[in-house]
Homo-oligomer: A and B are copies of this chain.
Amino acid sequence: MQTYNAPLRDMKFVLNELHDFSKLTSIPAFSGVDADLVETVLEEAAKFTTRVLLPLNPVGDTEGCRLENGVVHTPTGFKEAYKQFCDGGWSSVSAPPEYGGQGLPESVGMLISEMICSTNLSFGLYPGLTAGAMTALRKYGSDELKSFYLPKMIDGTWSASMCLTEAQCGTDLGLVRTKAVPQGDDSYAVTGSKIFISAGEHDLTENIIHLVLARLPDAPEGIKGISLFLVPKFLPNEDGSLGARNPVVCTALEHKMGIKGSATCQISFDEAKGWLVGAPHKGMQAMFAMMNAERLGVGIQGLGITEVSYQSAVSYAKERLQGRALSGPKYPKLAADPIIVHPDVRRMLMTMRVNAEGCRALGTWVANALDIAEHTEDKAQRRDAEDFVALLTPVVKAMFTDMGSESANLAVQTYGGHGYIHDHGVEQFARDARITMIYEGTNGVQALDLVGRKLPAHMGRSLRGLFHPIADFVAEHKEHPLFSKMIEGLERALGALQLSTAHVAQKGMADPEEAGAAATDYLRLMGLVSLAYLWARTVTIAVSKLGAAEGPDKAFYTAKLSSARFFYDRILPESAALYLKIKSGKKSLMELPEDLF
């Protein structure tokens, strides 16, 4: 069974104890926000997602979407749920107040997103795409476009899609063929075909605002000739009411492995009216603005799937009676022991648990930095925060989704044969999770982004924002009798990461294929070291609080120590293998001639 209770206690922990939420609330933009308000918001989000979205998750998977006469019908209940979503204010949580948003930090928005992704990833894609499009529009749209479109996107009346991919291009958007021809006024006629468009057409909102990559007639070839256009499904009148239908048509729905409740559309533009967003030929810039927001968002999808996989597996492992504990019957009165008594089942459960807790801790760290980057008035602080977000974005996207897919598959494995059967709903997690490793840039592309763009940027400046706090922490706690063994492990992993960084920088400078050959393993190593640091900090916090803690708090901190131990014993050792793989270089990947494959 798909089982979910929002992990509110852990969310409070990462916001307030592991990271310093008060640092955020000292920023004027968040002056009205405090921990109590956030707690209330999260509790309400927990209720909404668990009561409304979770029951619709298997419905969406079983029914899928239907295309009839150009109209896409979402699964039963999605439309009503979307209305409740908007009425409850969930579409506007961290949107800017000047356009009607509630202006809560992204750190809070991220945790709400996590709940949405745990309970109904397919549903979450509809508002998720709108949020990504809003980022691009806010950063690059004209004031006119912003003041006209953003309020209705923020209150959820209108939704958005991102129309990038075409049949011949996904990763390489320089190959985009869609055309935009100026119409003499400030508008353009957009013509072309797009595929894989999430939320490209549906029945949840009265209008859909497409952000479309296309080429102007005078565009240079390749990636430097791409511009971004806003193309509404219905052309709005000046008062915001809907005017003529723009020739933007859903020609087909993709048949996918999962996220079946999400409408993934082929969209055809036939001289559709649109407006330029940002400067001509600078569409990739705007695209990356929304893409980066989306990449963090996709990482959080991985976290959401991890959490619900964990909880669903735990509930089964406690119920399913099969065999006896290796150490002798634990429940002699039952026909058999529940399978949670088995070390190998616990290995799977702990992996999911520690994946979820670790990703939540790291995701919140990055979301905090994002809030600082967007709202602080301190320039140096902003620069550091921007660096940090840029560096960690590919790590969050790729590692979290790898772990999401791993966790969903571990949930299936915990259920055994019953996990392979549709009825229990866990195989849906595995199918849904699978796309997160692919869209918004495959995880391989994330790794290339990390080693090719993020590492060399500003002469490695951003790395210091990650390495320094870890090195400082190591120095501070190295001699502590309680922590020394753990710190040793952290120091070793950090050392491996630093050596790997030097390898990538040196070898990669002379031969970019060397950087490419290291990329995926390097990204994972950076992710593991970041997690190791956060787990070490978690341990010091838990130890300091355990003395005075009672009841559920005591249990919480005790469990944190076990999670941390598991991470250090069973997950961090991977870093030894990663380092060896990175060091081995490109030869074994590149030497086989193409025709011998």
Q: In the complex, what distance in Å separates the CA atom of A286 from the CA atom of B569? A: 40
Q: Which of B444, B511, B566 contacts A413 (CB 8 A)?
A: B444
Contact B444 A597 (CB under 8 A): no
Inter-subunit contact B434/A171 (CB<8 Å): no
Chain B residues within 8 Å of A412, by CB: 257, 434, 438
Point out the residues of chain B lying under 8 angstroms from A584, CB to CB: 569-570, 573
CA distance A256 to B428 in the complex (A): 10
Q: Which B residues lie within 8 Å of A344 (CB)?
A: 444, 447-448, 516-517, 519-520
Asked whether A172 is an interface residue with its Cβ less than 8 Å from the other chain, the reply is yes
Kindly specify which of A151-159, A182-190, A316-324 makes contact with the partner chain. A316-324
Are the CB atoms of B431 and A416 closer together than 8 Å? no
Q: Does A380 contact B (CB under 8 A)?
A: no
Expressed in whole angstroms, the Cα–Cα distance for A336 and B517 within the complex equals: 20
Q: Give the copy number.
A: 2
Q: Does A122 contact B (CB under 8 A)?
A: no
Contacts of A555 in B (CB 8 A): 596
Which residue on B lies nearest to A412, using beta carbons?
B434
A516 touches B343 (CB 8 A): yes
Q: Is A577 an interface residue (CB 8 A)?
A: yes
| Chain B residues positioned under 8 Å from A196 (CB to CB) | 417
Beta-carbon contacts of A317-353 to B below 8 Å, as 1s and 0s? 1100111011100000001100011111111111001
Q: Is A165 an interface residue (CB 8 A)?
A: yes
Partner of A421, one of B254, B340, B423, B442: B254
Task: Please report the C-alpha to C-alpha distance between residue A115 and residue B196 in the assembled complex, in whole angstroms.
Answer: 33
* Stretch among A68-76, A538-546, A586-594 lining the B interface: A586-594
A416 touches B326 (CB 8 A): no
Q: Is A443 an interface residue, CB under 8 A from the partner? A: yes
Interface string of A342-376 (1 = CB under 8 A from B): 11111111100100000000000000000000000
A168 within 8 A of B: yes
Answer yes or no: A314 CB below 8 A from chain B CBs.
yes
A100 interface residue (CB < 8 Å to B): no
Residues of chain B contacted by A348 (CB below 8 angstroms): 444
Question: Is the beta-carbon distance between A314 and B574 smaller than 8 angstroms?
Answer: no
Task: Give Cα distance in the complex from A513 to B340, angstroms.
Answer: 13
Q: B565 touching A342 by the CB < 8 A rule?
A: no
Residues of B within 8 A of A580 (CB): 573, 576
Which of these, B175, B256, B565, contacts A588 with CB under 8 Å?
B565
Give the distance in Å from the alpha carbon of A580 to the alpha carbon of B574 in the complex. Answer: 9
The reply to whether the CB of A439 lies closer than 8 angstroms to some CB of chain B is yes
Which residues of B lie under 8 Å from residue A519 when comparing CB positions?
Answer: 343-344
Q: How far is B256's CA from A423's CA once the two chains are assembled, in angstroms? A: 9
Q: Which 4 interchain pairs have the tightest Cβ spacing?
A: A569-B584, A573-B580, A343-B516, A326-B512
**Interchain Cβ contacts under 8 Å between A and B, 12 examples:** A168-B321, A171-B323, A171-B416, A172-B336, A340-B594, A344-B447, A344-B519, A345-B444, A349-B597, A420-B438, A559-B592, A566-B589
